Chains A and B, each alone.
Chain A
Amino acid sequence: MLTSRRRFLLSTGALLLGACGGRQLAPPGTAKIRLRFWTMQLKPTFDDYLNRVIADFQGQYPDTTVEWVDVPWGEMETKILTAVAANTGPDVVNLNPPFASKLAERDALLDLETQVSEAERAAYFPNLWRANQLLKAGASSPVTFGLPWYVASDITLYNRALLEDSGWDADTPPRTYAELAQLAPQIRERTGKYAFMLTLDGSQVLEAMVQMGLPLLDGEGKAGFANPAGEAAFAYWVDLFQSGGIPREVLTESHRRTLELYQSGELAFLLTGPQFLRQIQENAPDIAQVTDVAPQLAGLDGRISAAVMNVAIPKATPHPERAVQFALFLTNAQNQLEFSQLANTLPSTVATAADPYFTGTAETVVDKARLVSAAQLPQAQVLIPPVEGLGDLQKIIYEELQRAMLGEKSVQAAVRDAAQRWNG
């Protein structure tokens, strides 16, 4: 009895010691560098792809193991912040420029300007590279806080049947915001539906205002919109809202609701990324059948917007060199081509965008969406560049815009108040 108890204790102790000292006991030549890699909502759809990329990288660097963790979109902000604060953060992380710039403002991300060679940098579209730069107050050169990864450049999806019912030629949909505003009352009157809806939960409305000619900031970082151009951009939304041309829900709803309304045939236009077309085909085949594709709506100067995902390296990583190598590997032209095909997104590398997959001829509406979107890539840019306090600026503009939309103040007063609040 005693012997068996002693044997049990000895074996348990050995197991515990083995578990504690596993690292020391590992045979020589096995992995020594452990990279923790976080992505934003890519599991389970891209499991096979990312596991393959990770295996390839580990094949090239046998001393490295990559541990991939996927974080839901809505939780990334909190998780990365608490992890970085507790020093348990990842070595490589997939973010977007607005949020990555928040971390870069606080000096929590590696400046890739000094880590990436000129040749490596040249592989990416320069406009998308710039979207990952932040010029801090008082600094002479910008900080590059991430490598561009996959990109979405919005296109215009539209319901041909609704356009025809409202008496508009469905082969020549509006190309500008001004034309769309002209069409909105016509659609409302003749079909009872709304033309379109951009919600105030993201940056789409502000981007549209920039496209319409609203200058966000002047050279000194002060409000650049307290002028007729700014007032015109404010007035665009106020007029549409007050005349019933767009749903009142723009005030409280999100992009998801916009998609739902388009799928239920309540909206004539959906200004979104091409990746949503597949979702429409699955959820609302009838609407997908009458859906056609047009280039992104433009403003005065024809500028096109893009949303970029990036890969950043937290400063606290113990392996900055290997982390950068992994980020470069993940975002190289070859890996991006495969990912774009799987995810129906656009690449940030010049060589990938030149592939026939993005330049061929369209046979289906999905092909057309991809080609239209890819054709916009060289001109596409992040219209709201990462600037310090960007979140506050957007909040101020949206709040004053809402007050004007609800009739609490005039457009002029809203623009003036927004500028005064930003300038402090």
Chain B
Amino acid sequence: MAKKTSSELSRSSPPRWERLWIHSGPYLFLLPALILMGIAAFWPMLQAVYLSLTRYDLLSAPTWIGLENYLRLTRDPLFWRALGNTLMYVGLVVPPLVWLPLGLAILVNRRLPGIGIFRLLYYLPVVFSVVVAGLAWRWLYAENGLLNHILSVLSGHPLRIPWLTDPRWALFSVSLVTIWKGLGYYMVIYLAGLQGIPAHLYEAAALDGANRWQQHRWITLPLMRPYQLLVLILSTIAAMKVFEEVYLLTRGGPVYSTLTLVYYLYERGISNLEMGYASALGLVLFGVVLALSLGAVRLYSREEEKE
């Protein structure tokens, strides 16, 4: 009896090593990933914080200058230009990328013969390397390129729209490429969401006499809101970090009209060897992306509460 009691006791309070294992075991499993993240992400981030407080040209040792890089940012007109362009770019790219792929996903979420081909076609631009897409669009946008040719034929008189060579058009033209390339990617996210909506909801609504539009309005759209938030955050972060399209199409020109924060960071860091200043720019970019993402989450939860 006494034996039974002691075994019961030992079962109710496991030995010390077992308790230790229960508490620390999960962390041990997480450790490899944490080490990798630490080396590849956290350490460079901490280094960037340190470098942003120094003058560093890669070749000589960093010199401590305190907050000078950040003060210089406030006086640098090109930084403000790049920030303005980047925000404008976000404004041009994010709304279409939140709404157009949803429409596309609803369209291709039907059981029709050959619908798989449509899904594939919309997804194709995502698979293209951004370099290939950039070069192809450069030809399309050329003064005597396909786009101007088609527009000339349609309008009946020669048109030479300066897609990339006029400061008023350039940012808009670059943003079109991002939208074209992102449509399929976000469409797949929405498609996964649409296919997760239980069919009985639509059946119940139909029994209640709801028509197609009412079903969309009161079932599909509300249930897609979490996905819209995800797409909003993902596309905002991607748009804030735009580089490849700018590098391939305009290199920030003409006259800085497509200069974005990441392109400016690249120019200062790699071309001008101002690594300290580039690190400060990187941290500001990080702050802006974080603020925009938190803002999006907050906006979403406020609307949730309202509903």
Contact = CB atoms under 8 A, between A and B. Distances in A.
Interface residues on B, range: 20 to 34
Contact of B60 (A102, A106, A399, A408): A106
B249 interface: yes
B162 interface: yes
Interface stretch (B104-112, B192-200, B219-227, B269-277): B269-277
Interface in A177-202: 200-201
B306 to A, nearest CB: 46
Interface in A74-96: 77-78, 81-82, 84-85
The residue among A85, A107, A252 with the most chain B CB atoms within 10 A of its own CB is A252
Interface string A245-274: 001110111000100000000100000000
B59 A406 contact: no
B279 to A, nearest CB: 14
Interface in B35-89: 57-60
Nearest to B267: A395
B58 A402 contact: no
A252 B270 contact: no
Contact of A81 (B59, B138, B254): B59
A282 to B, nearest CB: 20
A338 B273 CA distance: 37
Interface string B129-140: 000000000100
A251 B272 CA distance: 21
A402 B273 CA distance: 25
Contacts of B142: 249
A103 interface: yes
A85 B58 contact: yes
B181 interface: no
A34 interface: no
A385 to B, nearest CB: 20
A106 B255 contact: no
A249 B141 CA distance: 10
Contacts of A391: 271-272
A81 B273 CA distance: 9
Contacts of A108: 59
A384 B272 CA distance: 18
B250 A406 contact: no
B164 interface: yes
B143 A399 contact: no
Contacts of B215: none
A107 B60 CA distance: 9
Contacts of B253: 200, 251-252, 402
A130 interface: no
A252 B249 contact: yes
B165 A252 contact: yes
A103 B255 CA distance: 28
Contact of B255 (A77, A248, A253, A402): A402
Interface residues of A, number: 28
A77 B270 contact: yes
Contacts of A103: 59
A106 B60 CA distance: 8
Contact of B165 (A85, A251, A403): A251
B58 A81 contact: yes
Interface in B110-154: 138, 142-144
B151 to A, nearest CB: 16
Nearest to B170: A252
B143 A106 contact: no
Contact of A406 (B57, B60, B138, B254): B254
A399 B142 CA distance: 22
Interface in B228-273: 249-251, 253-256, 270-273
A301 B12 CA distance: 98
Contacts of A266: 144
A248 B162 contact: yes
Contacts of B57: 106
Contact of B254 (A84, A107, A251): A251
A107 B166 CA distance: 41
B167 interface: yes
Contacts of B256: 399
A406 B164 contact: no
Given A266-B144, A391-B272, A406-B167, A252 B59 contact: no
Interface string B183-216: 0000000000000000000000000000000000
Nearest to B165: A248
A103 B57 CA distance: 10
A103 B59 CA distance: 8
A100 to B, nearest CB: 13
A405 B11 CA distance: 85
A406 B255 contact: yes
Contacts of A107: 59-60
A406 B164 CA distance: 13
A187 B249 CA distance: 28
Nearest to A241: B165
Interface string A161-177: 00000000000000000
A248 B143 contact: yes
A84 B251 contact: no
Contacts of B166: 248, 406
Contact of B250 (A84, A247, A252): A252
Interface of B: 57-60, 138, 142-144, 162, 164-167, 170, 249-251, 253-256, 270-273
20 contacts: A84-B59, A85-B59, A103-B59, A106-B60, A247-B143, A248-B143, A248-B165, A249-B142, A249-B164, A251-B165, A251-B253, A251-B254, A252-B253, A257-B138, A391-B271, A392-B272, A402-B253, A402-B254, A402-B255, A406-B166
Given A77-B270, A106-B57, A266-B144, 14 more contacts: A77-B271, A78-B270, A81-B59, A82-B58, A84-B59, A102-B273, A106-B60, A108-B59, A201-B251, A252-B250, A253-B138, A399-B255, A402-B253, A406-B255
Sorted from nearest, which 5 A-B pairs have the closest CB atoms?
A248-B165, A251-B254, A85-B58, A106-B59, A252-B250
